Structure 1
């Protein structure tokens, strides 16, 4: 029988499909797994994956000088890659998974995997088609959206490579999303995976119950070959002994429009939670602590939102604003469109990709700073390490690209817990 405990010294190998910025992959790397291939459609996220792979390669050689020179703006991206990869290739396939690309992706995967046996496939297709918000905003409720069927292509990787296990991650809305005839996509998935010879178990996991400073629920499907039951890796509940302030409070104070995407020194002592989490870089620095600018009207609203929470512990409804500050005609829904990330709670509300559009739903709790969250603060809530750098397609820093990748990711420390449970329980 496959024994993960003995293989861990040789690093069990996996591929990450629909990889995004690599939150899920990073968690497995931290637990001792080796990602041989990432497949990601978004060019910015694909570069993020390459840069992170460069980090791990250089760290493995015991010299991160080139990496931190890059984060300081002293090296260009291609120069970093040259030092990390040399004349070899990286693990990232930047392509859209679909009928037209599948054969090409398989050829590239075959070359990377070689004669090795693939242990695990992880990943989750884009969630817009299954999400409750996505369906609410769609006139057709996302019925017929081709992204509903991306699980079919995920299954093709299972059919070809027959990994011992797979993990499929997505939004909780997957449990209720239906086809025109009322059939749940979720049931279609389970049937398909069973036809391929996999037993599947699943749970809805709340990140804040497992030491993540964010309320984020996701459905996790775990499959294993053969007819089995009771194999889902049960995560330990983590007592909440920290606050959101412990996750972001050590970052330098900024006003709206200030900060930088490159290296920033951490001027305040980190919290006990940050030290124990292993997210600190070890250099006393981080990146992407750059606040977006805001217009004067929004800054006035931010102050009211923060004051009401800090003084009364109450959320501000849009209808409570003075008329002079109201610009939206819709007064019946989305009344919490301005929301503070409360420092005195053990978990923030969910960080989603919409944070790339504006920061009104993610207002910093310190009124003296009067702004929305920076990408690094959002990344801390998603438990990305401080030395994790978010790229863009162009090579020029893009706050929008960083926010989108962060909002779409799996919390790194949650992924690490899942990975470690594989090692503990699956032999």
Structure 2
């Protein structure tokens, strides 16, 4: 078999291992992300023709393969120093025209959440996390009557911001039918159930194992649907769930639709990007919207409100940018502090600062022309700067790691602060975050952006 005929993931892995080439190093020389190569080799996804072509070209280049496969890992002693505050960089990070309006919008969002609820609209939150989905629905006038969240630190954050809801339980799989019935009697009728089961079992950044028990959590979501019989239900997850397959080889998305149908609901799924709804972040997600069979109307999503500002949809507002979200915050370099306890920068080793100091926006330290100024491992989405005047890259739970995926500030040479990540996710500054910094990062990175949630909630409200 020649390499020209090698089109399956198993064949690629066999050839790569024969050459002594790690997945990370193949990603480095091909430019195809490691998580995509991993998913292809495991047979989880098909590799697009252009990506397969560049991967095959890279693996054919024997000189390049030899150079990276025999390269020894460079050890660098960790030492820290305070980077200079360059006047030109501080000036570049000044507030944009769109920043005051965005900050005011987040204040209005929180004020609407805190306002008394006059409309007779109620919601139940499952897999609540730190409350992003709930915040959007609350700001749209829904009373959040109860919630379920497994992790105690996240429950604590949720309780700080939603003190009136009933805490139904922690582990949704451990809530018995009897306990659920008792809670339903206590809470009363519910109009909408919302929730996003943990995405690790579905996401390309995880193992995507078909037998991962988390992949069945939507069945417990449906137990609540059966008990409360809400008029509507909204289930959120990562976009790649639409291509995830079950143990029998079928699509998980079809399982979800079939189950909702068996439980008496019309359902459809919609792939959305949060930036199209005013969130200053490129964040692709899938939403399953279900409507009870005895009610009129069909599942739908609100029309996008934001776009590129021209082209086929000139009537839309321009996408919000990283700068629109964060440019009023104090300028910080590595290790810097401010009066806001959540706007503090992680200290990074001096050699990492050196790799990244002159890297332009949208580029990675792996792109440096001098091999000695490139990180010894990783791939070209790591050690990468964001872009100041574009929507931010997806906020993940690892946003505090400068070595993570697109976690470097566009202008300063450091990872994102918690306040910046919260702003990019559209959490108001007045939203209360407590607990360890790691817990807060996890909650923010996994949250449904409240502005996206509010757009969905307003649409659901009109339907109801």
Number of aligned residue pairs: give it: 336
Q: After superposing the two structures, state which structure 1 stretch, 241-250 or 227-236, moved more.
A: 227-236
Does the 8 A contact of 1:199 with 1:229 survive in 2?
no
Query: Corresponding residue for 1:95?
Result: 170
Q: Give 5+ residue unaligned stretches, structure 2.
A: 1-116, 307-316
Per the TM alignment, residue 16 of structure 1 is displaced from its structure 2 partner at its CA by 0.4
Query: Corresponding residue for 1:23?
Result: 132
Q: Counterparts of 1:321 and 1:41 in 2: how far apart (Å)?
A: 47
Q: Summarize the Cα distance change of 1:33–1:251 in structure 2 as closer, same or farther, 3 Å threshold.
A: same
Q: Summarize the Cα distance change of 1:28–1:320 in structure 2 as closer, same or farther, 3 Å threshold.
A: same
Query: Corresponding residue for 1:374?
Result: 417
Decide which of 190, 195, 199 is 2:262's aligned counterpart. Answer: 195
Q: Summarize the Cα distance change of 1:161–1:356 in structure 2 as closer, same or farther, 3 Å threshold.
A: farther
Q: Summarize the Cα distance change of 1:107–1:34 in structure 2 as closer, same or farther, 3 Å threshold.
A: same
Query: Corresponding residue for 1:178?
Result: 245
Decide which of 398, 401, 408 is 1:363's aligned counterpart. Answer: 408
Superposed CA deviations along residues 338-360 of structure 1, whole A, max 9, x for unmatched, are 11121122x01111123255564
Query: Corresponding residue for 1:250?
Result: 328
Q: Counterparts of 1:373 and 1:103 in 2: how far apart (Å)?
A: 43
Query: Corresponding residue for 2:193?
Result: 121
* Moved beyond 6 Å, runs of 4+: none
Q: Counterparts of 2:422 and 2:434 in 1: how far apart (Å)?
A: 13
Decide which of 414, 423, 427 is 2:461's aligned counterpart. Answer: 423
Does the 8 A contact of 1:46 with 1:93 survive in 2?
no
Q: Counterparts of 1:329 and 1:207 in 2: how far apart (Å)?
A: 31
Per the TM alignment, residue 151 of structure 1 is displaced from its structure 2 partner at its CA by 0.7
Per the TM alignment, residue 319 of structure 1 is displaced from its structure 2 partner at its CA by 5.1
Query: Corresponding residue for 2:313?
Result: none
Does the 8 A contact of 1:356 with 1:400 survive in 2?
no
Per the TM alignment, residue 112 of structure 1 is displaced from its structure 2 partner at its CA by 4.1
Superposed CA deviations along residues 166-206 of structure 1, whole A, max 9, x for unmatched, are 00001111111112321111111111110110000221111
TM-score, L = length of structure 1: 0.73
Per the TM alignment, residue 329 of structure 1 is displaced from its structure 2 partner at its CA by 4.1
Query: Corresponding residue for 2:209?
Result: 142
Structure 2 residue 378 is matched with structure 1 residue 300: no
Query: Corresponding residue for 1:237?
Result: 305
Decide which of 180, 196, 214 is 1:106's aligned counterpart. Answer: 180
TM-score, L = length of structure 2: 0.68
Decide which of 283, 290, 300 is 1:216's aligned counterpart. Answer: 283
Does the 8 A contact of 1:28 with 1:419 survive in 2?
yes
Does the 8 A contact of 1:356 with 1:404 survive in 2?
no
Specify the SS of the correspondent of 1:304. coil
Does the 8 A contact of 1:245 with 1:344 survive in 2?
yes
Decide which of 153, 160, 182 is 2:220's aligned counterpart. Answer: 153
Q: Summarize the Cα distance change of 1:421–1:229 in structure 2 as closer, same or farther, 3 Å threshold.
A: closer
Q: Counterparts of 2:236 and 2:142 in 1: how far apart (Å)?
A: 18
Does the 8 A contact of 1:341 with 1:362 survive in 2?
yes
Specify the SS of the correspondent of 1:223. strand
Query: Corresponding residue for 1:12?
Result: 121
Q: CA RMSD in A?
A: 2.3
Decide which of 406, 426, 429 is 1:386's aligned counterpart. Answer: 429
Does the 8 A contact of 1:39 with 1:94 survive in 2?
yes
Does the 8 A contact of 1:167 with 1:220 survive in 2?
yes
Specify the SS of the correspondent of 2:318. coil
Does the 8 A contact of 1:15 with 1:120 survive in 2?
yes
Structure 2 residue 85 is matched with structure 1 residue 41: no
Does the 8 A contact of 1:359 with 1:373 survive in 2?
no
Does the 8 A contact of 1:235 with 1:418 survive in 2?
no
Q: Counterparts of 2:403 and 2:377 in 1: how far apart (Å)?
A: 20
Superposed CA deviations along residues 7-44 of structure 1, whole A, max 9, x for unmatched, are x7334111100011111100011111011111111111
Q: Summarize the Cα distance change of 1:127–1:321 in structure 2 as closer, same or farther, 3 Å threshold.
A: farther
Q: Summarize the Cα distance change of 1:142–1:156 in structure 2 as closer, same or farther, 3 Å threshold.
A: same
The structure with more radius of gyration: 2
Does the 8 A contact of 1:37 with 1:112 survive in 2?
no
